[in-house]
Amino acid sequence: MSHRVFGKKAELKIQPVGTGLWAVPGSQWGPAEDQTTLEAIETALEAGCNFFDTADVYGGGHSEELLGSAMKGRRDKFVVASKIGWLNYNEEGNRTKYDTIEILKTDVEAALKRLKTDYLDVLQCHVFYEEPNTPIFIDGFRQLQSEGKIKAWGVSTSDPSLLKVFNRDGDCDVLQVDYSILNRTAEVDLLPYCAENNIGVIVRGPIAMGLLADKFDRQTRFPDGDFRQAWTTDSKQRLQFAEDLKTVERLRSVVPADQSMAQFALRFAYSHPAITTIIPGARNATQAAANTATLQMGVLSTDELNACEAIVPFGGGRKIWPA
């Protein structure tokens, strides 16, 4: 599959299937090992994947450190995206307040040090539970771009109004957003806006945190340290988990026999014309190989898309987030 391009000042050519590096040792996904993460990165790279997404809070910076080790001596083969701004803590245990550009730049320099590089291809404002001081981020990102520290910038959010704030002057390069067969809400406002405004789209959660791998059932119990424990312990999330399992069961009938449901889900996500790349997680080489194999499978056919539509309609999805 051919590369896709985004970025307004610097064109970044990336494959439609990237790799997300949240699930590293010390993150919220249960037990993991450094070596298996490094093997996943290597497998993805060898299969043609060139886009890797991380964040300063993934494993307390350990995700960036592992990616930095993997890039040693071959930085040019990687297009690296990281994120900053989500509940980060300093050495004294106090939460960082991004109320000055200097603080923002200091934390970006720390990320560059962990990654063992002098620039980032993409830097995103990491928005989830708390809205940032957006002028600080926008102006800080612009300065970092003019200094050559970043090539492109944007925001990770599912809030259309916040994306429009970041694109107030038309120079936001990228949106990262949750999108999958189980959560099609981005199709209503966000994806059309990005297409109209030349904003690249990075899709997180294309396998819905493992739900679309079709490996869970009502008896599933998640290990200690895995944030998905709440899917079976929290009353609201338990109900949503049950509904998601029913949807997954219905999807089995539309998945071709020669591919897994996870691969079908990845193809669904990058089939949308507004999507630049997707970043499924890969905890080991086997998962990385299965993810990147979809590069040879191509987008879904009209019949396959219609079959998905009959199960989860346009703009539809979860009532609450199972995380």
Residue 138 — φ and ψ, nearest 5°?
A: -60, -50
Residues 6+ apart with CB under 8 A from 287: 40, 280, 281
> Alpha carbon 302 to chain centroid distance?
26
Bridge partners of 16? none
Q: What angle do CA 28, 191, 268 make, to 5 degrees?
A: 65
Q: Give the residue among 89, 31, 321, 308 at the shortest CA–CA distance from 181.
A: 308
Half-sphere exposure of 56 (CA within 13 A, CB side): 25
Under the phi-then-psi rule, with left for phi > 0, alpha for psi from -120 to 50, and beta for the rest, what region is 319? Answer: alpha
Q: Would you give the DSSP letter of residue 205?
A: -
119 among known catalytic residues: no
Strands 19-20 and 12-14: unpaired
- Alpha-carbon separation of residue 18 from 13, 78, 110, 255 (angstroms): 12, 10, 24, 22
Which residue is catalytic, options 58, 98, 179, 270?
Answer: 58
- Max Cα–Cα distance, the chain, nearest Å: 56
- Give the residue numbers annotated as catalytic, written as ranges: 58
